[in-house]
Amino acid sequence: MSRRVFTREFKVAAVKEVESGKPLGHVARRLEVSPNTLHRWRREFNKQPTKAFSGRGKRMFSESREAELERKVGQMTMEIDFLKKLVRTFEEQQAAESGVERSTTRSAKKRER
């Protein structure tokens, strides 16, 4: 079973909810988080509010950037394949209009020899 990963925004919102006066147990049940985890988050946030919870956030950003780039590579590959097919079709049409039948470029070179 893998561990859940919470965003910085989620953790800050949970801490602020507890600090607003809501019972810790109630907030923990509602968010489906252990009360001990909420205690730890609150301690970290009170110690250094600006630096708290920075570890996972950067990692998730790089993973999302990596996923975005992989999607772009896949899209570009599909576009290249489509364009290659289009060029091949265009060349075949040009050859058919000129009356020269070629199945491939190699076969045309062999005939010329």
pLDDT at residue 22, rounded to an integer: 92
- Global pTM reads 0.46
CA–chain centroid gap for 33, Å, is 26
Domain ranges across the chain: 1-53
**24: closest CA among 6, 42, 9?**
42
Radius of gyration of the chain (CA): 30
Which CA distances in Å does 33 have to 4, 44, 80, 100?
A: 10, 16, 47, 73
Q: To 5 degrees, how large is the angle CA 73–CA 77–CA 81?
A: 175
CATH (residue range 1-53)? 1.10.10
Q: How many helices and strands, by DSSP H and E, does the chain display? A: 5, 0
d(CA 25, CA 23): 6
pLDDT at residue 28, rounded to an integer: 93
Q: What's the token pair of residue 75?
A: 């899209």
Q: Kindly report, residue by residue over 10-25, the tens digit of the pLDDT.
A: 999 999 999 999 999 9
pLDDT at residue 39, rounded to an integer: 93
